[in-house]
Amino acid sequence: MKRDVLSEEYYDEVCRVIGDAAIVLVEAGMDTRRETLAELLKRTRHDRMDADREEQKVLEHAIRLVKPEEKKG
């Protein structure tokens, strides 16, 4: 997913969520690699299944942005 797919305001919110996740990981003494960030965001999305649709969408977009590239070949 690329930045141009999202509105600027929405992109800013997605980046804020990713930044918050990175801070949580650092404070817990964990690494902030894409894989770790994606897993934390997935767990958060799962734990907040009752959240409003907008929050779920932001988390889904954040996961797509940080998801590690799949290796080909």
Question: What pLDDT is recorded for position 8?
Answer: 81
Decide if 34 contacts 70 (C-beta within 8 A).
no
Phi-psi bin for 29: left (phi > 0), alpha (psi -120 to 50), beta?
A: left
Q: What is the pLDDT of residues 29-46, one digit of tens each?
A: 999 999 999 999 999 999
Termini Cα distance of the chain: 21
Residue 72 lies in a domain: no
Residue 71 lies in a domain: no
**Which residues form the domain of 50?**
3-66
Where do we find the tokens 């934390």?
40
The whole model's pTM is what?
0.80
Neighbours of 44 (CB within 10 A): 18
Residue 22 lies in a domain: yes
Residue 12 lies in a domain: yes
Rounded to the nearest integer, the mean pLDDT of the chain is 87
Q: How far apart are CA 49 and CA 64, in angstroms?
A: 18
Number of domains composing the chain: 1
